[in-house]
Amino acid sequence: MPYFTVKNIRLFYNERGKGVPLIMLHDNGGSSKMLKTEIRYYSKHFRVIGFDLPGHGRSDRIHDFEGDFWQYSAFIIKKALVELDLTDANIMGTSGGAIVGFHLALDQDLNCRALIADSFEGLALPPERAKQKMEQRSRTIKINFFRMFFQYLHGKDWQEVLRSDASNQLHFAEHKTVWFDSLEELNCRVLLTALTNDNMIPRAAEKVKLVHDLLPNSRLHLFDKGKHPAMLSNKKKYRKLVCDFCCKQ
């Protein structure tokens, strides 16, 4: 299996296809396995690299981490992209993966052709929202189907993966809250997508619209139907949207 080691962290990635690179980033608590069908589809049009974020899926676990997990993940992935000569790429992330995608797109060492950011929390993660997310997850993992799903994504230590991720989110919300210091410095074209009635993120469309208002080079597309995340519940429309957007360089 393909791994890249950065600062003693083995980062797993799934690579398929040829052409312009498309970096795909999953949500917190997920892994690249949840994007397997999308990686397969987009590989018909791009050279797709789907990473498992640090501490997730088949990537090495990180213990006792205190800091900005999304910025840290972007730093680790950036190092891998530089070494793999993948610095000129499109980037697509969903939910927490979208936050990592923004950090990558802001990095001076990379040339982000286009950023696609789907179904994310907007500009900040307030403490009360982080607690709400963890309560929501606690209810979810009581359902046997989701317990099996998370084990499929991460392996036998899936509960520890989710505990660590919960700690990361709560720590960030209490100590930093705001995702980005200077989002206005983003120069690449950006496609922002959200559900008008996201079952996982309250006021998702409103939050993403605030980001859209800050970025003059961005386009906003809202989906009236489907469940979180939009890119998976509206696959047919979403795939066309992404391919059309990335082709307009």
C-beta of residue 195 within 8 angstroms of C-beta of residue 204: yes
Return the CATH number of 3-122+181-244, one of 3.40.50.720, 3.40.50.1820, 2.60.120.10, 1.10.1740.10: 3.40.50.1820
Choose the weakest-confidence range: 62-66, 90-94, 243-247.
62-66
Distance separating alpha carbons of residues 172 and 216, to the nearest angstrom? 28
pLDDT in tens, 182-241: 899 999 999 999 999 999 999 999 999 999 999 999 999 999 999 999 999 999 999 999
Q: What is the DSSP string of 151-199?
A: HHHH-TTHHHHHHHHHHHHHHHHHHT-BS-S-GGG--SEEEEEEETT-S
pLDDT at 66 over 90: no
**pLDDT for position 63:** 84
C-beta of residue 153 within 8 angstroms of C-beta of residue 26: no
Distance separating alpha carbons of residues 114 and 101, to the nearest angstrom? 10
The residue extents of the domains of the chain are 3-122+181-244
| Mean pLDDT, rounded, for 104-132 | 97
pLDDT at 89 over 80: yes
Which is more confident, 248 or 226?
226
| Mean pLDDT, rounded, for 33-61 | 98
| Mean pLDDT, rounded, for 9-18 | 96
pLDDT at 144 over 70: yes
pLDDT at 40 over 70: yes
C-beta of residue 165 within 8 angstroms of C-beta of residue 30: no
Strand order in the sheet with 218-223: 3-6, 9-16, 47-51, 21-25, 88-94, 111-118, 189-195, 218-223
SS3 content of the chain, % helix, strand, coil (to 5): 45, 20, 35
Under DSSP, the state recorded for 14 is: E
Which CA distances in Å does 216 have to 147, 156, 191?
Answer: 42, 45, 11
pLDDT at 248 over 80: no
Distance separating alpha carbons of residues 85 and 21, to the nearest angstrom? 10
pLDDT at 172 over 90: yes
Which pLDDT band holds residue 179 (cuts at 50, 70, 90)? Answer: very high
Which pLDDT band holds residue 65 (cuts at 50, 70, 90)? Answer: confident
| Mean pLDDT, rounded, for 11-19 | 96
C-beta of residue 21 within 8 angstroms of C-beta of residue 71: no
**pLDDT for position 247:** 83
Percent of all residues in the chain with a pLDDT value above 70, rounded to a whole number: 99
| Mean pLDDT, rounded, for 100-114 | 97
Which pLDDT band holds residue 1 (cuts at 50, 70, 90)? Answer: low
Percent of all residues in the chain with a pLDDT value above 90, rounded to a whole number: 95
pTM here is: 0.97
pLDDT at 249 over 70: no
Distance separating alpha carbons of residues 190 and 158, to the nearest angstrom? 33
- Residue 170: closest CA among 61, 94, 67, 18: 67
CA dihedral 221, 224, 230, 236 (to 10 degrees): -90
| Mean pLDDT, rounded, for 39-67 | 95
Phi first, then psi, for residue 112 (nearest 5°) are -80, 115
- Residue 180: closest CA among 79, 94, 105: 105
